[in-house]
Structure 1
Amino acid sequence: MSDAPDDEVLVGGNVTPVVRRGDAVHRQAGEWTPAVHLLLRTLHHAGIDEVPEPRGFDQFGREILSFVPGETLADAAPRVLWSVDVLRSAARLLRRIHDASVPLVADPSLVWRSPRREPAEVICHNDFATYNLLVRGETLSGAIDFDFASPGSRAWDLSYLAYRIVPFAEDAPHTEGLDRRIRLDALIRAYGGGVAADEIIATAADRLDDLRAFTLGRRRATGRVDFAEHAAMYGRDAERLRGPRPWAISLS
């Protein structure tokens, strides 16, 4: 397989390489890709234009998606990364995605890359985090990387967003002065309620257990030392979230 000379390899993908060609992105496809493309088309039909639009496949069998412009939120300046307005916008976008995805939950013909988790209420992004959210200036502009989407609960997705944007992650930078209780309450309210803060914290810890196991599997498959380091962090963070004072953890 070879790419055109002007292809741009996009950084940040830990699983599959991503190449930009003009206004399109080309990436490895799999048996899950038709389900993901249906999800993305469903979102666009619901008026959610902040996500990639599927454009079929290239001559190498890779999927083609529209390029969503913007800077990765994780790479934005701290005032943008930890903006309460961006936090609320992320929660509202996730709610719109969840609500539009409901008709796909019960379709037995769809093959997803990640396992189905009960209660299956919506199609979860399963990695809705600062590194998969885009901003333009100080405004949230998009969400990318839906490859690991699958049916699951609203709390499963919202809890991981909380882990990364409240944040509770050990590797979150520049968190001095952030009030995590206030930020989590703002996230839940912007999502539209339906879940309690204690449920989000408990689910986030379970989510990290799952992510730790997945990352250790990636470590064995690739030999990459950084995956082991990430898995260890997820374990420490899960332990903190299950502790008596998760709001008071100091990460900076």
Structure 2
Amino acid sequence: MVDLRNLSRVRVVLVETKFSGNIGLVARVMKNLGFEDLRLVKPRAELNREAYARAISGSDIIDRSEIHNELYPAIKDCQLVIGTSRRHGVKRKNVISPEEMAELIISSLEVNNIALVFGSEDTGLSNQDIKYCQWVVGIHPGTKYESLSLSHAVAIILWEINSALRNPRASIVRREKLASSEEMEQMFEHLQEVLTEIDFTRPGDPRRMMLSFRAIFNRAQMSSRDVNIIRGLLRQVNWKIESERKPGGKK
């Protein structure tokens, strides 16, 4: 059984939160369900009296919260990044249910840091934010109106994790540490450079093809060793290209 204390490995990341009260309500939910690490990315709301009034016993979580100007610095130390979205689309790949998300987290929590990323109240997560997420979890109650408030969405997601940890199903616990977001992003940048160099990607828009490659590699839940193998392959491709460009090289 996974120790509930491992919930300290889970970061709740709020992106461009619009209302101070919602930050407080999220902190309160986190406190009640055993989560401690709150990170705020480009918050539009202030950490004011309203935020603390709504937080009640979760005020200490607001006190310890980190504020970042961009999403990537807030999640780069995490090995598993899960975004939340109610929208569908070709740019939202690897979509899972809250139940599947909880099982995925349980299997990874012992040795990995995990980020749960929530978008703003009015626009949600942008495609730029989604690209950093290996998985996207959707909450779909099956009604005509599926738009939940930010604090309600956070409560549902955190409750699923808390409940699954307290009542675990028979599942494989992964004790191998996954590659960090920083390692994955460096690999994706290297891959895009190589694909552009060999004219594999669409001219002028290499990012479209990269969305598919991101989905493929993210599903694999790669370790640092896996990333190093792929980057070794890419370096060999770089070397081959450069050697053929030199005088006397193969054409």
TM-score, normalised to structure 1's length?
Answer: 0.24
Structure number with higher relative contact order (C-alpha < 8 Å, ≥ 6 residues apart): 2
Largest Rg, 1 or 2: 2
Normalising by structure 2, we get a TM-score of 0.24
